[in-house]
Amino acid sequence: MRARSTRLAGIALAAGLGLASLAACGSSDNTSTTPGSTGDAAAGGKKIALLLPESKTTRYETFDKPLFEAAVKAACADCTIIYSNADQNAAKQQQQAESALTQGADVLVLDPVDGAAAASVVASAKGSSIPVVAYDRFIEGADYYVSFDNATVGKIQATTLVDLLKAGGKTSGDLVMINGSPTDPNAADFKSGAHSVLDGSGFKIAAEYDTPDWSPDKAQQWMEGQISAVKGNLVGVYAANDGTAGGAIAALKGGGVTPLPPVTGQDSELAAIQRILLGDQAMTIYKPIEPEAEAAAKAALALANGQTPEKTTDFKGVPSTILDPIAVVKDNIKDTVVKDGIYKVSDICTGEVAAACTEAGIS
């Protein structure tokens, strides 16, 4: 427990110092190699490849990468990490995976841009007897899978939205759904989980959009087009993550929609926590990344050493660790992301957010 909070404090500090941009200096194709503290693979440590999908969503460079590296190094000082970020480009990720295999990676930890296309990465890794951990997003044929319960994420987002609308006295009206990337298997699970609650809720889903690349800009453009289509009937916006929520909110504000309808989100990004305090966003989902990164590091090290990793369950026939997502609204910001040391009060309560923090009892 102490190790966990110390590690997170270090990460938070590094994030504040612009760790993401430092990491990006590594090389032009977003690939870097981090030797362990006492040696490198030549000295006997394993080479672990971490392949993340994008950098517009803040979690990857700010939390997943440093927490995964810290977990590997804590367990194996002489292991080496080959790190790549694909910037939402599936072809680039395929090359990064091939390059990791050429560099002698002993295991791939792959968060795929395109879940279906990643099956060929698994096949080529298997051809070289290299195991693959599917990180956060499922890949058919992977040796291990670590994620959150993604259908539950969608259900919680939608339930929170419906509950908020009903608490505000609304039982009917139009909703729009801004889903995630069509190539991300998680996005399909968020969407079906949300539909299982919204369909038959009394509210009408007037329009729905699968956001290419999870792009906040594309979400914003689409929402701008919907404002005149749904006219005054819009009562709520289901947005699958905080990036798309930010795009939707910018469009609604730009279109002069007042009051803003409740908008959902996911990832507990700092900007989203601030929007929740200001009343611009209704909720987000908190997925503690540290246990996810630690489970992936543990599984990767076991597989790299020819051992069978411990599992808590099987998902589609793949041994897995599946973690629980948590809903965050104004009232529990203090007991979730602040309590867990994800953000310091001083990071959240800046500028115009300061007064909202005081009102919400966050100090």
For ligand GAL, which is the closer residue by CB, 47 or 195? 195
- Which residue's CB comes closest to ligand GAL? 186
For ligand GAL, which is the closer residue by CB, 203 or 343? 343
Q: Is 184 in the site for ligand GAL (CB under 6 A)?
A: yes
Strands 174-179 and 204-210 come out as: parallel
For ligand GAL, which is the closer residue by CB, 136 or 174? 136
For ligand GAL, which is the closer residue by CB, 146 or 165? 146
Identity at 215, one-letter amino acid code? S
Instruction: Give min distance, CB of 238 to ligand GAL, in A.
Output: 15
Preceding omega of 259 cis (within 30 degrees of 0): yes
Identify the DSSP state of 113. Answer: S
Identity at 169, one-letter amino acid code? G
Stretch of 5-13, 52-60, 201-209, 299-307 lying at the interface with ligand GAL (CB under 6 A): 52-60
Task: Report the C-alpha gap between 336 and 268 in whole angstroms.
Answer: 10
Identity at 170, one-letter amino acid code? K
Q: Which long-range contacts (CB under 8 A, 24 or more apart) does 18-27 make?
A: 19/61, 19/62, 19/66, 20/55, 20/58, 20/61, 20/62, 23/61, 23/65, 23/83, 24/55, 24/61, 26/83
Site string for ligand GAL, 235-274 (x = CB under 6 A): ------x------------------------xx-------
- Go through the chain and tell me how many residues it has: 363
Stretch of 180-188, 202-210, 216-224, 251-259 lying at the interface with ligand GAL (CB under 6 A): 180-188
Question: In the numeric block, which tokens belong to residue 87?
Answer: 């910037």
Q: Is 136 in the site for ligand GAL (CB under 6 A)?
A: yes
Sole binder of ligand GAL in the list 47, 59, 195, 298 (CB under 6 A): 59
For ligand GAL, which is the closer residue by CB, 58 or 80? 58
Provide the binding-site residues for ligand GAL, judged by CB under 6 A.
Answer: 54, 57, 59, 136-137, 180, 184, 186, 214, 241, 266-267
